[in-house]
């Protein structure tokens, strides 16, 4: 990290990762492939963080990944090695306190993920995603409104094994947390407030509107 001037920072990084195939990918029939090779990837990122005098924080980043033998499912859901794949993109995030009791964060990320052998977009990787959250301190607790957007992405139809384009979706959730986790915290929430019908993975619908009450304590 490099401080360009007060309130403005530059971040940069480069790394190499390695992942061997999991036990289920190798041996969990019928969706297994005992001939899988380990995948490896080089990654690089460059980003800026700007803290405004008003307390807001703007974060932007660019990223790139070059992968060899990436493990991904094929049309019949059997994992295969992709000889070469590249993932490039960028994100923009704005976070901060908007009022004494009100804070929030919003993020937008664009990703281009391509199988270099075929030129096709990698399965289940949307080009555009976004999220937003608002948190308000009320009545001794925290009320939160959360929204998540996932754009169009390719997938495999589990019935025909054909490649399909899955539509994007926007889901909102509400939370009210009372107390601290260290002392015991009650949480009341509503997931999928709009009762949106969507499939994160083709053929697997997500639950509709769900109301829950939970208690958690950290030891």
pLDDT in tens, 164-178: 999 999 999 999 999
Range of the domain at 13: 1-122
pTM: 0.89
The domain total for the chain is 2
* 87 and 167 inside one domain: no
Classify residue 159 as left (phi > 0), alpha (psi -120 to 50) or beta.
alpha
pLDDT in tens, 98-147: 888 999 999 999 999 999 999 999 999 999 999 999 999 998 899 999 99
CB 63 within 8 A of CB 92: no
Same domain, 109 and 140: no
How far is the CA of 207 from the CAs of 32, 157, 172, 174, 193, in angstroms? 28, 19, 13, 15, 11
Whether residue 31 sits in one domain with residue 1: yes
**Structure tokens, 13:** 């990084």
Taking 90 as the threshold, does the pLDDT of residue 10 lie above it?
yes
State how far the Cα of 192 lies from the Cα of 79, in Å rounded to an integer. 31
Task: Give me the pLDDT at residue 136, please.
Answer: 96
Q: Same domain, yes or no, for 22 and 91?
A: yes
């Amino acid at each position: 990290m490099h401080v360009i001037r007060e309130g403005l920072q530059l971040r940069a990084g480069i790394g190499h990762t390695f992942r061997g195939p999991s036990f289920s990918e190798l041996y969990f029939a019928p969706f297994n492939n005992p001939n899988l090779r380990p995948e490896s990837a080089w990654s690089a990122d460059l980003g800026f963080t700007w803290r405004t005098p008003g307390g807001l924080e703007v974060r932007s980043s660019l990223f790139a990944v070059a992968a060899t033998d990436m493990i991904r499912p094929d049309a019949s859901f059997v994992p295969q090695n992709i000889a070469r794949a590249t993932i490039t993109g960028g994100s923009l995030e704005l976070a901060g306190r908007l009022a004494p009791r009100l804070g929030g964060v919003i993020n937008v990320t664009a990703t281009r993920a391509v199988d270099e052998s075929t030129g096709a977009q990698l399965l289940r990787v949307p080009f555009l995603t976004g999220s937003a959250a608002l948190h308000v301190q009320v009545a001794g607790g925290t009320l939160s409104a959360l929204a998540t957007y996932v754009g169009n992405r390719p997938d495999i139809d589990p019935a025909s094994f054909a490649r399909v384009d899955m539509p994007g979706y926007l889901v909102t959730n509400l939370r009210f947390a009372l107390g601290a986790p260290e002392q015991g915290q009650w949480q009341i929430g509503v997931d999928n407030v709009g009762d949106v019908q969507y499939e994160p993975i083709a053929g697997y619908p997500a639950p509709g509107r769900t109301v829950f009450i939970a208690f958690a304590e950290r030891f």
